[in-house]
Structure 1
Protein backbone atom coordinates (compact mmCIF):
# COMPACT_ATOMS: atom_id res chain seq x y z
CA UNK A 1 0.00 0.00 0.00
CA UNK A 2 2.85 2.38 0.80
CA UNK A 3 5.45 0.90 -1.55
CA UNK A 4 5.71 3.93 -3.86
CA UNK A 5 6.00 6.29 -0.93
CA UNK A 6 8.68 4.23 0.79
CA UNK A 7 10.55 3.92 -2.50
CA UNK A 8 10.49 7.70 -2.97
CA UNK A 9 11.65 8.26 0.61
CA UNK A 10 14.47 5.73 0.21
CA UNK A 11 15.65 7.30 -3.05
CA UNK A 12 15.75 10.80 -1.56
CA UNK A 13 17.60 9.55 1.52
CA UNK A 14 20.20 7.57 -0.42
CA UNK A 15 20.62 9.92 -3.38
CA UNK A 16 20.90 13.04 -1.24
CA UNK A 17 18.02 15.10 -2.61
CA UNK A 18 14.74 15.20 -4.46
CA UNK A 19 16.23 16.05 -7.85
CA UNK A 20 18.75 13.20 -7.78
CA UNK A 21 16.09 10.84 -6.48
CA UNK A 22 13.81 11.77 -9.38
CA UNK A 23 16.60 11.05 -11.89
CA UNK A 24 17.33 7.72 -10.15
CA UNK A 25 13.69 6.62 -10.25
CA UNK A 26 12.93 8.01 -13.69
CA UNK A 27 10.23 10.31 -12.29
CA UNK A 28 9.69 14.05 -12.10
CA UNK A 29 10.85 15.92 -9.02
CA UNK A 30 7.29 17.02 -8.10
CA UNK A 31 6.15 13.39 -8.25
CA UNK A 32 8.87 12.30 -5.81
CA UNK A 33 8.16 15.24 -3.51
CA UNK A 34 4.46 14.42 -3.55
CA UNK A 35 5.06 10.78 -2.54
CA UNK A 36 7.28 11.76 0.39
CA UNK A 37 4.81 14.45 1.46
CA UNK A 38 1.94 11.95 1.42
CA UNK A 39 3.93 9.57 3.62
CA UNK A 40 4.71 12.31 6.13
CA UNK A 41 1.12 13.56 6.18
CA UNK A 42 -0.36 10.07 6.50
CA UNK A 43 1.54 9.47 9.77
CA UNK A 44 1.87 13.13 10.81
CA UNK A 45 5.69 12.94 10.98
CA UNK A 46 8.72 14.74 9.56
CA UNK A 47 11.26 12.60 7.77
CA UNK A 48 13.43 15.32 6.21
CA UNK A 49 14.59 18.75 7.33
CA UNK A 50 14.30 20.74 4.12
CA UNK A 51 16.60 23.66 3.39
CA UNK A 52 16.92 25.72 0.21
CA UNK A 53 18.94 23.20 -1.81
CA UNK A 54 19.57 20.41 0.64
CA UNK A 55 17.60 17.91 2.67
CA UNK A 56 18.68 16.17 5.82
CA UNK A 57 17.15 13.17 7.50
CA UNK A 58 15.48 13.73 10.83
CA UNK A 59 16.20 11.21 13.62
CA UNK A 60 13.00 9.40 12.67
CA UNK A 61 14.10 9.49 9.03
CA UNK A 62 17.38 7.80 9.97
CA UNK A 63 15.46 5.03 11.75
CA UNK A 64 13.18 4.53 8.77
CA UNK A 65 16.17 4.43 6.39
CA UNK A 66 17.63 1.51 8.32
CA UNK A 67 14.40 -0.40 7.69
CA UNK A 68 14.02 0.54 4.01
CA UNK A 69 17.66 -0.38 3.36
CA UNK A 70 16.91 -3.92 4.52
CA UNK A 71 13.66 -4.04 2.60
CA UNK A 72 15.07 -2.85 -0.72
CA UNK A 73 18.15 -5.00 -0.27
CA UNK A 74 15.84 -8.01 -0.06
CA UNK A 75 14.07 -6.79 -3.20
CA UNK A 76 17.41 -6.61 -5.01
CA UNK A 77 18.28 -10.11 -3.85
CA UNK A 78 14.90 -11.37 -5.03
CA UNK A 79 15.43 -9.80 -8.46
CA UNK A 80 18.92 -11.27 -8.67
CA UNK A 81 17.51 -14.69 -7.77
CA UNK A 82 14.83 -14.50 -10.46
CA UNK A 83 17.33 -13.28 -13.04
CA UNK A 84 19.63 -16.19 -12.20
CA UNK A 85 16.76 -18.63 -12.73
CA UNK A 86 15.79 -16.90 -15.95
CA UNK A 87 19.33 -17.32 -17.26
CA UNK A 88 19.41 -20.94 -15.99
CA UNK A 89 22.28 -20.24 -13.61
CA UNK A 90 20.29 -21.56 -10.66
CA UNK A 91 17.19 -23.63 -10.04
CA UNK A 92 15.86 -27.08 -9.29
CA UNK A 93 13.71 -29.60 -11.15
CA UNK A 94 11.99 -32.72 -9.84
CA UNK A 95 12.09 -35.67 -12.23
CA UNK A 96 10.35 -39.04 -12.03
CA UNK A 97 10.89 -42.06 -14.25
CA UNK A 98 9.77 -45.66 -14.55
CA UNK A 99 13.30 -46.76 -15.40
CA UNK A 100 16.76 -45.19 -15.02
CA UNK A 101 17.69 -46.40 -18.50
CA UNK A 102 16.52 -43.33 -20.43
CA UNK A 103 16.50 -40.61 -17.80
CA UNK A 104 20.05 -40.88 -16.44
CA UNK A 105 21.72 -40.06 -19.80
CA UNK A 106 19.36 -37.10 -20.24
CA UNK A 107 20.18 -35.77 -16.77
CA UNK A 108 23.88 -36.18 -17.54
CA UNK A 109 23.60 -34.12 -20.72
CA UNK A 110 21.47 -31.51 -18.97
CA UNK A 111 23.91 -31.07 -16.10
CA UNK A 112 26.83 -30.56 -18.48
CA UNK A 113 25.09 -27.50 -19.92
CA UNK A 114 23.28 -26.27 -16.81
CA UNK A 115 25.42 -27.22 -13.85
CA UNK A 116 23.78 -24.66 -11.57
CA UNK A 117 20.39 -26.38 -11.75
CA UNK A 118 20.01 -29.25 -9.30
CA UNK A 119 17.95 -32.32 -10.18
CA UNK A 120 16.15 -34.81 -7.95
CA UNK A 121 15.07 -38.17 -9.35
CA UNK A 122 12.35 -40.52 -8.12
CA UNK A 123 11.41 -43.91 -9.55
CA UNK A 124 7.87 -45.24 -9.90
CA UNK A 125 5.33 -46.85 -12.20
CA UNK A 126 3.55 -44.86 -14.90
CA UNK A 127 0.33 -44.17 -12.95
CA UNK A 128 2.28 -42.85 -9.96
CA UNK A 129 4.35 -40.56 -12.17
CA UNK A 130 1.32 -39.16 -13.98
CA UNK A 131 -0.39 -38.49 -10.63
CA UNK A 132 2.77 -36.77 -9.38
CA UNK A 133 2.91 -34.54 -12.44
CA UNK A 134 -0.72 -33.55 -11.94
CA UNK A 135 -0.27 -32.62 -8.27
CA UNK A 136 2.99 -30.75 -9.07
CA UNK A 137 5.20 -33.17 -7.11
CA UNK A 138 7.23 -33.67 -10.30
CA UNK A 139 8.18 -31.26 -13.07
CA UNK A 140 9.17 -33.85 -15.67
CA UNK A 141 8.44 -37.55 -16.06
CA UNK A 142 9.46 -40.44 -18.25
CA UNK A 143 6.40 -42.62 -18.69
CA UNK A 144 5.78 -45.88 -20.52
CA UNK A 145 2.83 -45.88 -22.94
CA UNK A 146 1.76 -42.36 -22.08
CA UNK A 147 -1.97 -41.96 -22.79
CA UNK A 148 -3.15 -39.18 -25.08
CA UNK A 149 -4.07 -36.44 -22.61
CA UNK A 150 -4.50 -32.76 -23.58
CA UNK A 151 -3.13 -31.66 -20.20
CA UNK A 152 0.35 -32.94 -21.05
CA UNK A 153 3.15 -32.16 -23.45
CA UNK A 154 4.94 -35.38 -24.44
CA UNK A 155 7.60 -36.48 -26.89
CA UNK A 156 8.45 -40.09 -27.73
CA UNK A 157 11.89 -41.28 -26.73
CA UNK A 158 11.77 -44.86 -28.02
CA UNK A 159 9.55 -47.83 -28.85
CA UNK A 160 10.89 -51.26 -27.93
CA UNK A 161 9.69 -54.90 -27.98
CA UNK A 162 9.31 -57.10 -24.92
CA UNK A 163 11.71 -59.97 -24.26
CA UNK A 164 11.66 -62.87 -21.84
CA UNK A 165 14.75 -63.54 -19.75
CA UNK A 166 16.00 -66.49 -17.76
CA UNK A 167 18.94 -67.52 -15.62
CA UNK A 168 21.79 -68.96 -17.69
CA UNK A 169 21.38 -72.23 -15.82
CA UNK A 170 17.71 -72.44 -16.91
CA UNK A 171 16.82 -75.04 -19.62
CA UNK A 172 15.47 -72.24 -21.86
CA UNK A 173 18.91 -70.57 -21.91
CA UNK A 174 19.90 -73.06 -24.61
CA UNK A 175 17.65 -71.28 -27.11
CA UNK A 176 17.40 -67.70 -28.40
CA UNK A 177 13.67 -67.44 -29.00
CA UNK A 178 10.40 -68.51 -27.42
CA UNK A 179 6.68 -68.25 -28.15
CA UNK A 180 4.00 -67.17 -25.71
CA UNK A 181 2.54 -70.68 -25.77
CA UNK A 182 5.88 -72.16 -24.84
CA UNK A 183 6.32 -69.54 -22.15
CA UNK A 184 2.94 -70.43 -20.61
CA UNK A 185 4.42 -73.77 -19.54
CA UNK A 186 6.92 -72.06 -17.25
CA UNK A 187 6.52 -70.18 -13.94
CA UNK A 188 6.47 -66.42 -14.49
CA UNK A 189 7.73 -63.54 -12.38
CA UNK A 190 5.58 -60.46 -12.95
CA UNK A 191 5.76 -56.84 -11.88
CA UNK A 192 3.44 -55.08 -9.45
CA UNK A 193 0.00 -53.73 -10.49
CA UNK A 194 0.34 -50.47 -12.42
CA UNK A 195 3.45 -51.62 -14.24
CA UNK A 196 3.13 -51.17 -18.00
CA UNK A 197 5.25 -54.30 -18.50
CA UNK A 198 2.72 -56.29 -16.52
CA UNK A 199 -0.20 -54.72 -18.40
CA UNK A 200 1.31 -55.68 -21.76
CA UNK A 201 2.19 -59.19 -20.62
CA UNK A 202 -1.33 -59.87 -19.33
CA UNK A 203 -2.88 -58.46 -22.52
CA UNK A 204 -0.68 -60.60 -24.78
CA UNK A 205 -1.52 -63.79 -22.88
CA UNK A 206 -5.20 -62.86 -22.82
CA UNK A 207 -5.28 -62.20 -26.57
CA UNK A 208 -3.60 -65.55 -27.20
CA UNK A 209 -6.08 -67.27 -24.84
CA UNK A 210 -3.20 -68.57 -22.74
CA UNK A 211 -2.87 -69.07 -19.00
CA UNK A 212 -0.17 -67.23 -17.07
CA UNK A 213 1.59 -69.45 -14.56
CA UNK A 214 2.46 -66.71 -12.07
CA UNK A 215 4.83 -67.90 -9.38
CA UNK A 216 5.88 -64.53 -7.93
CA UNK A 217 4.89 -60.86 -8.02
CA UNK A 218 7.66 -58.31 -7.37
CA UNK A 219 8.00 -54.55 -7.16
CA UNK A 220 10.58 -53.06 -9.52
CA UNK A 221 12.85 -54.37 -12.24
CA UNK A 222 15.76 -55.04 -9.93
CA UNK A 223 13.64 -57.38 -7.82
CA UNK A 224 12.47 -59.18 -10.97
CA UNK A 225 16.05 -59.51 -12.16
CA UNK A 226 17.21 -60.99 -8.86
CA UNK A 227 14.28 -63.41 -8.72
CA UNK A 228 15.09 -64.67 -12.22
CA UNK A 229 18.78 -64.99 -11.35
CA UNK A 230 17.73 -67.09 -8.34
CA UNK A 231 15.92 -69.44 -10.80
CA UNK A 232 12.50 -68.76 -9.32
CA UNK A 233 10.96 -68.20 -12.74
CA UNK A 234 11.03 -66.39 -16.10
CA UNK A 235 10.87 -62.61 -16.31
CA UNK A 236 9.65 -60.22 -19.01
CA UNK A 237 11.01 -56.76 -19.69
CA UNK A 238 11.46 -54.32 -22.59
CA UNK A 239 14.51 -55.14 -24.69
CA UNK A 240 16.73 -52.16 -23.71
CA UNK A 241 15.91 -52.62 -20.03
CA UNK A 242 17.37 -56.12 -20.06
CA UNK A 243 20.79 -54.50 -20.30
CA UNK A 244 23.83 -56.63 -19.49
CA UNK A 245 23.89 -59.23 -16.76
CA UNK A 246 26.21 -62.24 -17.02
CA UNK A 247 23.80 -64.30 -14.93
CA UNK A 248 20.90 -63.91 -17.36
CA UNK A 249 19.95 -64.51 -20.98
CA UNK A 250 17.29 -62.71 -23.03
CA UNK A 251 14.92 -64.62 -25.30
CA UNK A 252 13.10 -63.02 -28.21
CA UNK A 253 9.30 -63.39 -27.99
CA UNK A 254 8.57 -64.29 -31.60
CA UNK A 255 4.78 -63.89 -31.46
CA UNK A 256 4.53 -60.95 -29.03
CA UNK A 257 3.18 -57.83 -30.73
CA UNK A 258 3.37 -55.51 -27.73
CA UNK A 259 5.93 -52.73 -27.59
CA UNK A 260 6.90 -50.34 -24.81
CA UNK A 261 6.85 -46.67 -25.79
CA UNK A 262 8.74 -44.36 -23.43
CA UNK A 263 7.84 -40.66 -23.47
CA UNK A 264 9.30 -37.52 -21.91
CA UNK A 265 6.35 -35.72 -20.32
CA UNK A 266 5.40 -32.51 -18.50
CA UNK A 267 2.24 -30.54 -17.88
CA UNK A 268 1.55 -28.15 -20.76
CA UNK A 269 1.33 -25.23 -18.35
CA UNK A 270 4.89 -25.96 -17.18
CA UNK A 271 6.41 -26.32 -20.66
CA UNK A 272 7.26 -22.58 -21.03
CA UNK A 273 9.37 -22.62 -17.86
CA UNK A 274 12.99 -22.24 -18.93
CA UNK A 275 14.52 -25.17 -16.98
CA UNK A 276 11.86 -27.54 -18.33
CA UNK A 277 12.21 -26.25 -21.90
CA UNK A 278 15.98 -26.67 -21.60
CA UNK A 279 15.55 -30.27 -20.37
CA UNK A 280 13.33 -31.12 -23.35
CA UNK A 281 15.82 -29.48 -25.71
CA UNK A 282 18.58 -31.73 -24.37
CA UNK A 283 16.78 -34.71 -25.94
CA UNK A 284 16.86 -33.16 -29.41
CA UNK A 285 20.46 -31.88 -29.17
Structure 2
Protein backbone atom coordinates (compact mmCIF):
# COMPACT_ATOMS: atom_id res chain seq x y z
CA UNK A 1 0.00 0.00 0.00
CA UNK A 2 2.80 2.43 0.87
CA UNK A 3 5.53 0.92 -1.32
CA UNK A 4 6.05 3.94 -3.60
CA UNK A 5 6.08 6.24 -0.57
CA UNK A 6 8.64 4.08 1.23
CA UNK A 7 10.71 3.98 -1.94
CA UNK A 8 10.68 7.78 -2.19
CA UNK A 9 11.51 8.18 1.52
CA UNK A 10 14.37 5.66 1.27
CA UNK A 11 15.85 7.35 -1.80
CA UNK A 12 15.83 10.77 -0.10
CA UNK A 13 17.41 9.35 3.08
CA UNK A 14 20.01 7.41 1.09
CA UNK A 15 20.92 10.18 -1.35
CA UNK A 16 20.68 13.04 1.14
CA UNK A 17 18.19 15.21 -0.73
CA UNK A 18 15.03 15.34 -2.84
CA UNK A 19 16.76 16.33 -6.10
CA UNK A 20 19.28 13.51 -5.91
CA UNK A 21 16.52 11.07 -4.98
CA UNK A 22 14.46 12.20 -7.96
CA UNK A 23 17.42 11.69 -10.31
CA UNK A 24 18.02 8.24 -8.82
CA UNK A 25 14.37 7.19 -9.20
CA UNK A 26 13.86 8.81 -12.60
CA UNK A 27 11.09 11.03 -11.23
CA UNK A 28 10.57 14.76 -10.83
CA UNK A 29 11.46 16.39 -7.51
CA UNK A 30 7.83 17.42 -6.85
CA UNK A 31 6.72 13.82 -7.35
CA UNK A 32 9.24 12.56 -4.78
CA UNK A 33 8.35 15.35 -2.34
CA UNK A 34 4.67 14.52 -2.73
CA UNK A 35 5.22 10.84 -1.95
CA UNK A 36 7.17 11.64 1.22
CA UNK A 37 4.62 14.26 2.25
CA UNK A 38 1.78 11.75 1.83
CA UNK A 39 3.63 9.23 4.02
CA UNK A 40 4.17 11.84 6.75
CA UNK A 41 0.57 13.06 6.58
CA UNK A 42 -0.93 9.58 6.63
CA UNK A 43 0.85 8.73 9.89
CA UNK A 44 0.97 12.33 11.19
CA UNK A 45 4.76 12.21 11.67
CA UNK A 46 7.84 14.18 10.64
CA UNK A 47 10.53 12.12 8.91
CA UNK A 48 12.85 14.89 7.68
CA UNK A 49 14.00 18.24 9.03
CA UNK A 50 13.90 20.60 6.03
CA UNK A 51 15.81 23.88 6.03
CA UNK A 52 16.30 25.54 2.67
CA UNK A 53 18.22 22.92 0.65
CA UNK A 54 19.41 20.92 3.67
CA UNK A 55 17.51 17.71 4.44
CA UNK A 56 18.20 15.78 7.65
CA UNK A 57 16.47 12.71 9.08
CA UNK A 58 14.53 13.08 12.30
CA UNK A 59 15.04 10.47 15.00
CA UNK A 60 11.93 8.63 13.78
CA UNK A 61 13.15 8.98 10.21
CA UNK A 62 16.46 7.35 11.16
CA UNK A 63 14.60 4.43 12.71
CA UNK A 64 12.41 4.03 9.62
CA UNK A 65 15.49 4.16 7.39
CA UNK A 66 16.88 1.09 9.17
CA UNK A 67 13.69 -0.78 8.25
CA UNK A 68 13.56 0.39 4.64
CA UNK A 69 17.25 -0.52 4.27
CA UNK A 70 16.33 -4.10 5.13
CA UNK A 71 13.14 -3.94 3.09
CA UNK A 72 14.89 -3.00 -0.14
CA UNK A 73 17.80 -5.31 0.54
CA UNK A 74 15.34 -8.20 0.80
CA UNK A 75 13.80 -7.01 -2.45
CA UNK A 76 17.25 -7.12 -4.02
CA UNK A 77 17.71 -10.69 -2.77
CA UNK A 78 14.36 -11.68 -4.23
CA UNK A 79 15.32 -10.27 -7.63
CA UNK A 80 18.66 -12.08 -7.47
CA UNK A 81 16.89 -15.32 -6.59
CA UNK A 82 14.54 -15.01 -9.57
CA UNK A 83 17.50 -14.22 -11.81
CA UNK A 84 19.63 -17.10 -10.53
CA UNK A 85 20.07 -18.65 -13.98
CA UNK A 86 21.05 -15.43 -15.67
CA UNK A 87 24.60 -14.22 -16.26
CA UNK A 88 25.80 -11.47 -13.89
CA UNK A 89 25.89 -8.66 -16.42
CA UNK A 90 24.79 -5.79 -14.20
CA UNK A 91 24.83 -4.98 -10.51
CA UNK A 92 26.70 -3.19 -7.75
CA UNK A 93 28.62 -4.21 -4.63
CA UNK A 94 29.37 -2.05 -1.60
CA UNK A 95 32.64 -3.27 -0.12
CA UNK A 96 34.50 -2.05 2.97
CA UNK A 97 38.02 -2.92 4.09
CA UNK A 98 40.46 -2.05 6.85
CA UNK A 99 43.18 -1.67 4.21
CA UNK A 100 43.27 -1.46 0.39
CA UNK A 101 46.24 -3.85 0.33
CA UNK A 102 44.25 -7.06 0.65
CA UNK A 103 40.96 -6.11 -0.98
CA UNK A 104 42.02 -4.36 -4.21
CA UNK A 105 43.49 -7.55 -5.78
CA UNK A 106 40.24 -9.36 -4.91
CA UNK A 107 38.19 -6.67 -6.60
CA UNK A 108 40.47 -6.78 -9.63
CA UNK A 109 40.03 -10.53 -10.02
CA UNK A 110 36.27 -10.25 -9.59
CA UNK A 111 35.96 -7.43 -12.13
CA UNK A 112 37.89 -9.45 -14.72
CA UNK A 113 35.18 -12.11 -14.53
CA UNK A 114 32.21 -9.76 -14.07
CA UNK A 115 33.02 -6.41 -15.73
CA UNK A 116 29.37 -5.36 -15.58
CA UNK A 117 29.34 -5.30 -11.76
CA UNK A 118 30.41 -1.93 -10.37
CA UNK A 119 32.06 -1.65 -6.96
CA UNK A 120 32.20 1.00 -4.24
CA UNK A 121 35.07 0.70 -1.74
CA UNK A 122 35.14 2.32 1.69
CA UNK A 123 37.93 2.26 4.27
CA UNK A 124 37.45 1.87 8.02
CA UNK A 125 38.57 -0.09 11.05
CA UNK A 126 37.24 -3.59 11.71
CA UNK A 127 34.64 -2.52 14.27
CA UNK A 128 33.20 0.08 11.88
CA UNK A 129 33.07 -2.43 9.03
CA UNK A 130 31.27 -5.11 11.06
CA UNK A 131 28.75 -2.49 12.20
CA UNK A 132 28.27 -1.42 8.58
CA UNK A 133 27.66 -5.00 7.50
CA UNK A 134 25.05 -5.44 10.22
CA UNK A 135 23.38 -2.17 9.20
CA UNK A 136 23.28 -3.34 5.55
CA UNK A 137 25.49 -0.43 4.47
CA UNK A 138 28.07 -2.87 3.08
CA UNK A 139 27.65 -6.13 1.18
CA UNK A 140 31.16 -7.48 1.82
CA UNK A 141 33.97 -6.62 4.22
CA UNK A 142 37.65 -7.43 4.65
CA UNK A 143 38.41 -7.20 8.36
CA UNK A 144 41.12 -8.09 10.84
CA UNK A 145 40.64 -10.75 13.52
CA UNK A 146 37.05 -11.64 12.73
CA UNK A 147 35.45 -13.11 15.89
CA UNK A 148 33.19 -16.15 15.81
CA UNK A 149 29.72 -14.79 15.11
CA UNK A 150 26.85 -16.92 13.78
CA UNK A 151 25.47 -13.93 11.86
CA UNK A 152 28.50 -13.81 9.53
CA UNK A 153 30.02 -15.98 6.83
CA UNK A 154 33.79 -15.51 6.81
CA UNK A 155 36.89 -17.10 5.32
CA UNK A 156 40.51 -16.37 6.30
CA UNK A 157 42.62 -14.65 3.65
CA UNK A 158 46.01 -14.45 5.42
CA UNK A 159 47.86 -14.10 8.72
CA UNK A 160 50.79 -11.71 9.20
CA UNK A 161 53.11 -10.53 12.03
CA UNK A 162 53.27 -6.96 13.32
CA UNK A 163 56.22 -4.71 12.53
CA UNK A 164 57.28 -1.32 13.83
CA UNK A 165 58.41 1.48 11.52
CA UNK A 166 60.30 4.73 12.05
CA UNK A 167 61.51 7.72 10.10
CA UNK A 168 64.70 7.14 8.08
CA UNK A 169 66.24 9.97 10.13
CA UNK A 170 65.45 8.28 13.46
CA UNK A 171 68.50 7.42 15.64
CA UNK A 172 67.51 3.72 15.44
CA UNK A 173 67.19 3.68 11.65
CA UNK A 174 70.25 1.44 11.29
CA UNK A 175 68.67 -1.25 13.48
CA UNK A 176 66.95 -4.35 12.07
CA UNK A 177 64.72 -5.12 15.03
CA UNK A 178 63.37 -4.01 18.41
CA UNK A 179 62.22 -5.80 21.53
CA UNK A 180 58.91 -4.89 23.14
CA UNK A 181 60.80 -3.45 26.11
CA UNK A 182 62.80 -1.18 23.79
CA UNK A 183 59.55 -0.21 22.07
CA UNK A 184 57.95 0.73 25.39
CA UNK A 185 60.58 3.45 25.84
CA UNK A 186 59.73 5.07 22.51
CA UNK A 187 56.84 7.45 21.70
CA UNK A 188 54.19 5.66 19.61
CA UNK A 189 51.81 6.91 16.94
CA UNK A 190 48.73 4.67 17.04
CA UNK A 191 45.43 4.49 15.23
CA UNK A 192 42.08 5.17 16.88
CA UNK A 193 40.55 2.72 19.34
CA UNK A 194 38.79 0.00 17.39
CA UNK A 195 41.92 -0.60 15.32
CA UNK A 196 42.96 -4.24 15.58
CA UNK A 197 46.62 -3.35 15.05
CA UNK A 198 46.49 -1.13 18.12
CA UNK A 199 44.57 -3.74 20.13
CA UNK A 200 47.15 -6.44 19.32
CA UNK A 201 50.06 -4.22 20.32
CA UNK A 202 48.42 -3.13 23.58
CA UNK A 203 47.69 -6.76 24.49
CA UNK A 204 51.26 -7.83 23.69
CA UNK A 205 52.68 -5.00 25.79
CA UNK A 206 50.33 -5.76 28.68
CA UNK A 207 51.24 -9.47 28.58
CA UNK A 208 54.91 -8.47 28.78
CA UNK A 209 54.21 -6.22 31.77
CA UNK A 210 54.99 -3.09 29.75
CA UNK A 211 53.20 0.20 29.16
CA UNK A 212 52.42 1.86 25.85
CA UNK A 213 54.02 5.28 25.49
CA UNK A 214 51.37 6.99 23.35
CA UNK A 215 52.57 10.19 21.68
CA UNK A 216 49.76 10.66 19.18
CA UNK A 217 46.44 9.05 18.21
CA UNK A 218 45.26 9.44 14.61
CA UNK A 219 42.51 8.23 12.29
CA UNK A 220 43.67 5.79 9.62
CA UNK A 221 46.93 4.23 8.45
CA UNK A 222 47.93 7.05 6.12
CA UNK A 223 47.83 9.52 8.99
CA UNK A 224 50.08 7.20 11.02
CA UNK A 225 52.59 7.06 8.15
CA UNK A 226 52.67 10.85 7.80
CA UNK A 227 53.11 11.36 11.55
CA UNK A 228 55.96 8.83 11.71
CA UNK A 229 57.62 10.36 8.63
CA UNK A 230 57.47 13.72 10.43
CA UNK A 231 59.42 12.22 13.33
CA UNK A 232 56.60 12.26 15.88
CA UNK A 233 57.02 8.63 16.91
CA UNK A 234 57.01 4.93 16.01
CA UNK A 235 54.19 3.33 14.01
CA UNK A 236 52.86 -0.25 14.00
CA UNK A 237 51.37 -2.16 11.06
CA UNK A 238 51.07 -5.74 9.88
CA UNK A 239 54.11 -6.73 7.82
CA UNK A 240 52.59 -6.59 4.29
CA UNK A 241 50.90 -3.26 5.03
CA UNK A 242 54.24 -1.50 5.44
CA UNK A 243 54.86 -1.68 1.68
CA UNK A 244 57.51 0.79 0.50
CA UNK A 245 58.03 4.38 1.56
CA UNK A 246 61.49 5.92 1.13
CA UNK A 247 60.86 8.10 4.19
CA UNK A 248 60.35 5.12 6.51
CA UNK A 249 62.30 2.13 7.85
CA UNK A 250 60.66 -1.10 9.13
CA UNK A 251 61.85 -2.86 12.30
CA UNK A 252 61.01 -6.44 13.25
CA UNK A 253 59.50 -6.89 16.72
CA UNK A 254 61.77 -9.74 17.76
CA UNK A 255 59.82 -10.98 20.79
CA UNK A 256 56.27 -10.16 19.66
CA UNK A 257 54.18 -13.17 18.62
CA UNK A 258 51.02 -11.18 17.84
CA UNK A 259 49.73 -11.47 14.29
CA UNK A 260 46.93 -10.01 12.18
CA UNK A 261 44.40 -12.33 10.53
CA UNK A 262 42.50 -10.83 7.60
CA UNK A 263 39.15 -12.35 6.61
CA UNK A 264 36.63 -11.93 3.82
CA UNK A 265 33.22 -11.45 5.47
CA UNK A 266 29.54 -11.00 4.70
CA UNK A 267 26.25 -11.48 6.52
CA UNK A 268 25.04 -15.07 6.08
CA UNK A 269 21.72 -13.77 4.82
CA UNK A 270 23.57 -11.92 2.05
CA UNK A 271 25.48 -14.94 0.78
CA UNK A 272 22.57 -16.08 -1.48
CA UNK A 273 22.91 -12.80 -3.41
CA UNK A 274 24.50 -13.83 -6.69
CA UNK A 275 26.88 -10.88 -6.78
CA UNK A 276 28.10 -11.59 -3.23
CA UNK A 277 28.44 -15.33 -3.85
CA UNK A 278 30.27 -14.62 -7.11
CA UNK A 279 32.76 -12.39 -5.29
CA UNK A 280 33.58 -15.17 -2.83
CA UNK A 281 33.74 -17.77 -5.62
CA UNK A 282 36.03 -15.65 -7.81
CA UNK A 283 38.51 -15.35 -4.94
CA UNK A 284 38.48 -18.91 -3.63
CA UNK A 285 42.25 -19.25 -4.00
CA UNK A 286 42.80 -16.28 -1.64
CA UNK A 287 39.97 -17.32 0.67
Normalising by the residue count of structure 1, what TM-score does the alignment of the two structures yield? 0.70
- Secondary structure of the equivalent of 1:142? strand
Q: Distance between the aligned counterparts of 1:238 and 1:83, measured in 2?
A: 41
Query: Following superposition of structure 1 onto structure 2, how do residues 217-228 of structure 1 map, counting pairs within 5 Å?
Result: 217-228=217-228
Pair 85,218 (structure 1): closer, same or farther in 2 beyond 3 Å: farther
Corresponding residue for residue 200 of structure 1:
200
Q: Distance between the aligned counterparts of 1:85 and 1:173, measured in 2?
A: 58
Do 1:89 and 1:117's aligned partners in 2 also have CA atoms closer than 8 Å? yes
How far is the alpha carbon of 1:284 from its aligned partner? 1.7
Pair 196,85 (structure 1): closer, same or farther in 2 beyond 3 Å: farther
Q: Distance between the aligned counterparts of 1:85 and 1:100, measured in 2?
A: 32
Query: Following superposition of structure 1 onto structure 2, how do residues 167-186 of structure 1 map, counting pairs within 5 Å?
Result: 167-186=167-186
- Secondary structure of the equivalent of 2:232? coil
Pair 244,85 (structure 1): closer, same or farther in 2 beyond 3 Å: farther
Q: Distance between the aligned counterparts of 1:269 and 1:130, measured in 2?
A: 14
Q: Distance between the aligned counterparts of 1:85 and 1:189, measured in 2?
A: 51
Do 1:189 and 1:215's aligned partners in 2 also have CA atoms closer than 8 Å? yes
- Secondary structure of the equivalent of 1:225? helix
- Secondary structure of the equivalent of 1:284? coil
Corresponding residue for residue 244 of structure 1:
244
Q: Give me the CA root mean square deviation.
A: 1.6
Q: Distance between the aligned counterparts of 1:215 and 1:151, measured in 2?
A: 38
Query: Following superposition of structure 1 onto structure 2, how do residues 1-285 of structure 1 map, counting pairs within 5 Å?
Result: 83=83, 86-285=86-285
C-alpha distance after superposition, 1:211-256 (max 9, x if no partner): 2111100110000000000011000110000001111111000111
**Residue-pair matches, total:** 206
Do 1:145 and 1:261's aligned partners in 2 also have CA atoms closer than 8 Å? yes
How far is the alpha carbon of 1:84 from its aligned partner? 9.3
Structure whose CA Rg is larger: 1
For structure 1, the 5+ residue unaligned runs are: 1-78
Pair 110,85 (structure 1): closer, same or farther in 2 beyond 3 Å: farther
Q: Distance between the aligned counterparts of 2:212 and 2:263, measured in 1?
A: 28
- Secondary structure of the equivalent of 1:141? strand
- Secondary structure of the equivalent of 2:181? helix
For structure 2, the 5+ residue unaligned runs are: 1-78
Normalising by the residue count of structure 2, what TM-score does the alignment of the two structures yield? 0.69
Do 1:190 and 1:218's aligned partners in 2 also have CA atoms closer than 8 Å? yes
Do 1:188 and 1:234's aligned partners in 2 also have CA atoms closer than 8 Å? yes
Q: Distance between the aligned counterparts of 1:131 and 1:83, measured in 2?
A: 29
C-alpha distance after superposition, 1:18-58 (max 9, x if no partner): xxxxxxxxxxxxxxxxxxxxxxxxxxxxxxxxxxxxxxxxx
Corresponding residue for residue 47 of structure 1:
none
Runs (4 or more) in structure 1 with deviation over 6 Å come to none
- Secondary structure of the equivalent of 1:231? coil
Do 1:85 and 1:91's aligned partners in 2 also have CA atoms closer than 8 Å? no
Corresponding residue for residue 3 of structure 2:
none
Q: Distance between the aligned counterparts of 1:207 and 1:123, measured in 2?
A: 30
- Secondary structure of the equivalent of 1:169? coil
How far is the alpha carbon of 1:86 from its aligned partner? 3.9
